[in-house]
Structure 1
Amino acid sequence: VPPQALGPPPQGIGKVLQSMWRDVQTFPRSFWLLAGLCVIVYGAVLPFNNVASALLLDRDYFPQGSVWHSDHGSTYVYNGYPPPGVQCNTREGSRMAFCQALARAQTTAGFVMSLPYSISAALTPILGKIVDWYGQRGTLVVMSSFVLMLTHVSLAVTSIPAQYLLCGIGISYS
């Protein structure tokens, strides 16, 4: 729609926007720091879930380099793709040991991926009540960021089981 078709802006909208801008400029620095930390926490948790399945499969539940032996005596080293000639999305393929193990690993990874949101759903009302009673919102946001950073680094450099680390993400997300 061309701007001319909308007509002139209503009188006074510029004054309202100026007033809102002045109000926003009066927010204390601590507000902006907390808002920034919240954005960082959400920015670290939500996109992580987009790659978590592949990460969990490769890291914990179905790592590349695992060796598979077929019923025909051949050996296959998993490299991110099914063995030659295996199609897990067919009835015949779904009965193969490789495809069954992959399906179990995908199911386990899916369950572990749900832990942060389940923990957050359970803890958020409790933590919200505690914060309402005692305050310290800023301290909790800083602690949350620290726990989140620690769990992400631990996922990258340790062999701590993923389900424990994703519980840490759930706690920090709360």
Structure 2
Amino acid sequence: MSSFFSNWRNPVIWLVIGLPLVAVVAGIGLIVVSVRSGGSDAVPEDVRRTAQVQVADIGPDAVAARRQLRAVVRIDPEGGFVEVIPAAGDFDGAQLLVLTLVHPASQADDVELQLQRSDAGWRAPLRLDAGPAWNLVLEASDGSWRLQGRLVEGTLAAVVQPALRSPPAP
């Protein structure tokens, strides 16, 4: 019996048992962290999965490209609002807009705003802490078109435009 316990004093036995055990615990920890963050393939739109491919509807992007829509999203930290100013294209002034600020790492921190018509464009109250860069998605309230852009860290304005190129003129 004493020879059995003497084997446990050998450090090689602890490595043989300990390293795989640590690898299993670390693997479980990584799975928990990745599931809680929303997944690396999480996108803020309806997606259909076919086999291992995510298929998203690009119809709203095509409409925005055809109408040549572009806008500037401006954040006013002192005033506590975000403003969307049309820069190009055929915007319907009576239409309500939806602006989604997509957090780059945590889906739980995404912000969705309903923008109301204002003198210069559309506006909504927003208190945004200085932090990471945000992905911006601006769309019509009926989902008929969509513009995308990126608010770089440390900046207060960004251009949003169609994800697709404008179709060639006939």
Q: Report 1 or 2 for greater relative contact order, CA contacts < 8 Å, sequence distance ≥ 6.
A: 1
Normalised by the shorter chain, which TM-score bucket? Answer: under 0.3
Q: Hey, which of these two has a bigger chunk of helix by percent?
A: 1
Q: Hey, which of these two has a bigger chunk of strand by percent?
A: 2
